[in-house]
Amino acid sequence: MSTRTATVTRKTRETDISATVTLDGTGQAEIATGLRFLDHLLDALTRHSRMDIMLTCTGDLDIDDHHTAEDCGLALGEAFDQALGDKRGIRRFGEGHAPLDEALARAVIDLSGRPYVYVDLGLRREKVGDIATEMIGHVLQSFAMAANMTLHVELIRGQNDHHRAEAAFKSLALALRQAVAPMGHDEVPSTKGVL
């Protein structure tokens, strides 16, 4: 299996982003989105997936957090998809459960090439840190759509919105780590022969 890494740049009138994803990393994160809580969530995703992620974003935060959050998810998803290549030899499916104190989240993914997203975090506060809670699920949705994956992530239980959001990203990290794992063969894991 060749080196599985990719860099994507995304420059619009709203954001200027550089994202590098290395699937076979050590969990090293260099993340600066301008949204500290988003940095925190992406750092958790990086460390627990064991991918290396470098992400910088300059966005129009003077307007609000929407463009930055969405475009960071899109750039990361695109880099992730490119790093996967033709998906030969991977496990393809992944699932993860992650607790954080009273919160428990589950993520299930299929690197099918067919994007579909179901996110139910049940967040109740208007904001966590410097990001609107509605944007937390939107980052997951943007990432999965650009990564061409099927993603289901939901909170099983929890009271604290910080814990609920972080548990969701950690459960996704565990599912990603499992799904991209090399299986010791050079086959595309699909009855169609292509993903």
Nearest to 81 by CA among 179, 182, 192, 191: 179
Instruction: State yes or no: pLDDT of 87 exceeds 90.
Output: yes
**pLDDT reported for residue 189:** 66
State what percent of residues in the chain have pLDDT above 90: 91
- Local confidence band at 84 (pLDDT 50, 70, 90 cut-offs): very high
Confidence check: pLDDT of 194 > 80: no
Homologous superfamily (CATH) of 5-179 is Imidazole glycerol phosphate dehydratase; domain 1 (3.30.230.40)
Q: Which amino acid is present at 147?
A: A
Q: What is the pLDDT of residues 10-54, one digit of tens each?
A: 999 999 999 999 999 999 999 999 999 999 999 999 999 999 999
Cα–chain center distance at 62: 25
pTM of the model: 0.95
Q: Are 88 and 95 in contact (CB under 8 A)?
A: no
Contacts of 13 (CB under 8 A, 6+ apart): none
